């Protein structure tokens, strides 16, 4: 048996015993990272090339340090992003909301759509939209200066600096100069109730920045504020999408009532058929 693959099997058992959700995948990703290959190429690594650094990385992961902090990279749609301490690690489930946003923008009769990403973090949402919607102009808003530095790094590294502009600002008051001119607002805001800290995995609780996680007793404090922000920024007929947590889908649509000019407010599901984000439109004049 290939020695490296044998080591990966041992690492898988160690990570499983530590409570890691995806021990085999993480063991392989760490091996690929250490040896500078893709996961599917591990069989090409010769026994003589085994690097003892691998077990240092496994130990860090067994201590529940996020995989992405160890490798310094996170994959999101068609992007490889730099991540680490101080920035929220983008999650695969957010890709579903971004897919909806991209398809909605493509269907709009707008030559140069203006998009605002509120709470951009690593820049995953903003950069994906810029990359996949030609001629879009995306404004990425982030209050945390540490997270903003990661977003700016990723914007530059992916070559989208001409169409993605990073803003150091509070999402609740940002971009007054764009009031009534925005075609799409999208946000993955903080939405974890403060009382649920004990149920949050240590990779999240101990490593993602607190401002990106906690949002009051019911987790909806920031989302309540986004109703006024969307109403301010969006043009008539513009669209908005907001990610939320499990069990919150029933509480969010009433925050965007028809009498305030919202239409087509509905929950959208992720691949596991769970409510994942709420999408809505501003009424036409």
Q: Which residues contact 227 (CB under 8 A, 6 or more apart)?
A: 255, 256, 260
Q: Is 159 annotated as a binding residue?
A: no
Beta-bridge partners for 167: 141
CA 110 – CA 51 distance, rounded (Å)? 52
- Which residue is it, tokens 């947590």? 245
Q: Which residues contact 87 (CB under 8 A, 6 or more apart)?
A: 121, 122, 146, 147, 150, 151, 209
Q: Is 23 annotated as a binding residue?
A: no
Q: Is 123 annotated as a binding residue?
A: yes
Q: Is 122 annotated as a binding residue?
A: yes
CA 32 – CA 23 distance, rounded (Å)? 14
Which token pair is 210?
């607190």
Q: Is 104 annotated as a binding residue?
A: no
Q: Is 267 annotated as a binding residue?
A: no
Measured CA distances, 258 to 41, 155, 190, 222, 282 (Å): 54, 37, 25, 20, 9
Q: Is 194 annotated as a binding residue?
A: no
CA 190 – CA 135 distance, rounded (Å)? 29
Residue among 127, 49, 118, 64 nearest 95 (CA)? 127
Coil/strand/helix, residue 140: strand
Q: Is 195 annotated as a binding residue?
A: no
Between the two ends of the chain, the Cα-to-Cα distance in Å is: 68
Beta-bridge partners for 277: 243, 268
CA 103 – CA 169 distance, rounded (Å)? 27
Q: Which residues are annotated as a binding site for S-adenosyl-L-methionine?
A: 119-123, 142, 188
Q: Which residues are annotated as a binding site?
A: 119-123, 142, 188-191
Q: Which residues are annotated as a binding site for substrate?
A: 188-191
């Amino acid at each position: 048996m290939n020695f490296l693959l044998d080591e990966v099997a041992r690492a898988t058992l160690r990570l499983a015993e530590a409570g890691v959700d995806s021990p085999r995948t993480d063991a392989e990703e760490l091996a690929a990272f250490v040896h500078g290959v893709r996961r599917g190429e591990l069989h090409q690594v010769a026994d003589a090339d085994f690097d003892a650094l691998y077990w240092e990385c496994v130990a860090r992961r067994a201590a529940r340090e996020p995989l992405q902090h160890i490798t310094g990279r996170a994959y999101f749609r068609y992007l490889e992003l730099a991540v680490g301490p101080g920035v929220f690690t983008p999650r695969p489930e957010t890709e579903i909301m971004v897919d909806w946003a991209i398809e909605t923008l493509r269907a709009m009769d707008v030559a140069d759509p203006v998009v605002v990403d509120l709470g951009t973090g690593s820049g995953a949402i903003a950069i994906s939209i810029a990359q996949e919607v030609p001629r879009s102009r995306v404004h990425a808003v982030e209050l945390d200066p540490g997270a903003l530095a990661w977003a700016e790094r990723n914007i530059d590294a992916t070559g989208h600096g001409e169409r993605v502009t990073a803003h150091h600002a509070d999402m609740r008051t940002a971009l007054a100069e764009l009031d009534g001119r925005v075609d799409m607002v999208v946000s993955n805001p903080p939405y974890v109730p403060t009382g649920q800290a004990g149920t949050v995995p240590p990779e999240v609780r101990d490593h993602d920045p607190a401002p990106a996680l906690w949002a009051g007793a019911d987790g909806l404090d920031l989302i309540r504020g986004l109703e006024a922000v969307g109403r301010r920024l969006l043009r008539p007929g513009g669209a908005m999408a907001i990610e939320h947590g499990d069990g919150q889908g029933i509480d969010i649509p009433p925050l965007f009532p028809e009498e305030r000019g919202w239409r087509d407010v509905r929950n959208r599901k992720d691949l596991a058929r769970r409510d994942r984000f709420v999408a809505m439109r501003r009424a036409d004049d």
